[in-house]
Structure 1
Amino acid sequence: MSDRTPVFIITGEQGQCKTTFLHLVLGFTVGLNVRVRGVISPGYVRDGRRSGFALIDLATGEVEELSSIDPDPRCEIHGRFYFRPEGLAFGRRALAPPDPRETDLVVIDEVGRFELQGEVWAEQIDRLLAHPHPPMIWTVRRRLLNTVIERWKIANPVVVDVGTASVMATAGDVMDAVWEWREAQTASGAPDFPLPGGRIAGDPPLLADAAAGASPNAPVILRRCYGPEE
């Protein structure tokens, strides 16, 4: 199944709102009871320049500071950023290989030059891809796109360019992949996971459900539901 399970790669230039696009896509999925694991990493800006990143565990909604440009002797230095040990440990726990029977979607924001150098989330990505895994969404800078695909031998990449792609269409494609994953898990003997409106795995996704209201159990960071115009 892993060879056919897609990895959606949201790509664009630096500062082109890849994380925002990802957040919008995830906003559609939470109302459909999608069980998401992984991390999203919104950035900070100071004096018009990127100054650091937070890290959000999508399974729990917990937040930890990941990195900053402010020097700190306790931190790992990658590029011009100081990565806090607490943030790295937090992210590595969030990116541990999930139980495929209990996870529909894995998110990594982002996969970049540090990972290509074997740092930050590289080991976690290797472990995730070594196991049967659900659909994934990664964010990757455009100039690194082909290198990332080749480095991890992604057999089924779905490239989503934020400059031209539709949030709604991308969310629909992600949900199609989630439904296929759930069908495969059901066929392997895993119990059906209940969906809104009495549907079970195999029924077509209805993104309108997300617009009607997200699951109250969703992490607070994703409880807002987005319309395609936002």
Structure 2
Amino acid sequence: MNRRAPVFIITGGQGQCKTTFLHLVLGLIVGLNVRARGVIAPGHVRDGRRSGFTLVDLATGEHEELCSIDPDPRCEAHGRFYFRPEGLAFGRRALAPPDPRETDLMVIDEVGRFELQGVVWAEQLDRLTAHPHPPMVWTVRRRLLDTVVERWNITNPVVVDVGAASVMATADAVMDAVWEWREAQTFSPVPAPPVPGDRIANDAPLFAEAVAGGSPSAPAILRRRYGPEG
């Protein structure tokens, strides 16, 4: 490829349904045999406040509790959350650098203040961005967006704001990047070590129904910035 594969950044304010938007985008492309790796992290609410997160491995469909607000001496404390060692190990395995010939899309939900402090998924993000990678989709809070882009030197972010974006048009843009990546791998002479797992484990009809009333003509990409060759 004559440029690095893009990093799509789904952004919005706290509680503005970034993970839900990501779910819907993945639901529209799951039927197209997109070989996705990475994690999504649905949150839990208790007494009106965020109380924890569960991780779902997109390659296997397996899930593991990541963190909660309940104190536990076995856990790593970051902010008000206690991160379970099993959940951290689970996520780090799911975010290992992929085989570029066997992976179309990497997903990280989400990249936030803990990663900017050098913990949770920071090391995995460093590894993923240090070398050529397939298209990626990250979720990032709006107030951290520019800091995240600068920290990981993302020269070609495609920024999607959930407040104005179309799920269907965003899925189309992601698929365009996936097809370009596949074409580039077809002609690439460089092999890579195999990594298990080959597709999104989601329920496509469920997501398709959820966006059936959406407007495909709504703006999908608010800012698209391609940088120099990487």
TM-score > 0.5, shorter chain as reference: yes
User: Which structure 2 residues correspond to residues 102-113 of structure 1 after superposition, within 5 A?
Assistant: 102-113=102-113
Residues 150 and 51 of structure 1: CA distance in aligned 2, closer, same or farther (over 3 Å): same
2:58 alignment partner in structure 1: 58
Q: List per-residue Cα deviations over 1:159-211 (Å, max 9, x = no partner).
A: 000000000000000000000000000111589xxxxxxxxxxxxxxxxxxxx
C-alpha change, 1:63 and 1:123, in structure 2 (3 Å) is same
Residues 165 and 94 (structure 1 numbering): CA distance in 2 closer, same or farther, change over 3 Å?
Answer: same
Mapping 1:82-93, distance limit 5 Å: 82-93=82-93
Q: CA deviation at 1:224?
A: 3.1
SS across alignment from 2:93: helix
TM-score (norm 2): 0.85
Query: For 2:189 and 2:124, how far apart are their aligned partners in 1?
Result: 27
The DSSP-based 3-state class of the residue aligned with 2:206 is coil
Match in the other structure for 1:119: 119
Structure 1 match to 2:15: 15
CA contact (8 A) 1:23 1:222 kept: no
Contact 2:42 / 2:53 at 8 angstroms: preserved in 1? yes
Contact persistence 1:10–1:160 (CA under 8 A): yes
User: What are the residue-to-residue correspondences of 1:11-160 with 2, within 5 Å?
Assistant: 11-160=11-160
* C-alpha RMSD of matched pairs (Å): 1.8
Contact 1:36 1:105 in 2 (8 A): yes
Q: Is the aligned partner of 1:229 residue 2:213?
A: yes
Amino acid at match of 2:128: L
SS, match of residue 44 in structure 2: strand
Task: Check if 1:5 corresponds to 2:5.
Answer: yes
Report percent identity of matched pairs: 79
Structure 1: distance between partners of 2:162 and 2:90: 28
Amino acid at match of 2:206: R
Residues of 1 paired with 2:169 and 2:109: CA distance? Answer: 20
Q: How far has the Cα of 1:229 moved from its partner?
A: 2.2
- The separation in 2 between residues aligned to 1:89 and 1:174, in whole angstroms, is 28
Q: Deviations over 1:25-60 (max 9, x none)?
A: 000111000000000000000011100000000000
Query: Structure 1: how far apart are the matches of 2:91 and 2:160?
Result: 24
- 5+ residue gaps, structure 2, are 192-198, 215-230
Cα deviation for residue 132 of structure 1 reads 1.5
User: Is 1:164 the counterpart of 2:164 in the alignment?
Assistant: yes
Amino acid aligned to 1:93:
R
Paired residue total: 205
Give 1:220 deviation, angstroms.
4.2
Partners of 2:202 and 2:112 lie apart in 1 by 27
Report the AA paired with residue 27 of structure 1.
G
Q: Using a 3 Å threshold, how does the CA distance of structure 1 residues 107 and 22 change in structure 2: closer, same or farther?
A: same
Runs of 5+ unmatched residues, structure 1: 192-216
- Change in Cα spacing, 1:108 to 1:2, as seen in structure 2 (3 Å) is farther
Cα distance, 1:61 vs structure 2? 0.3
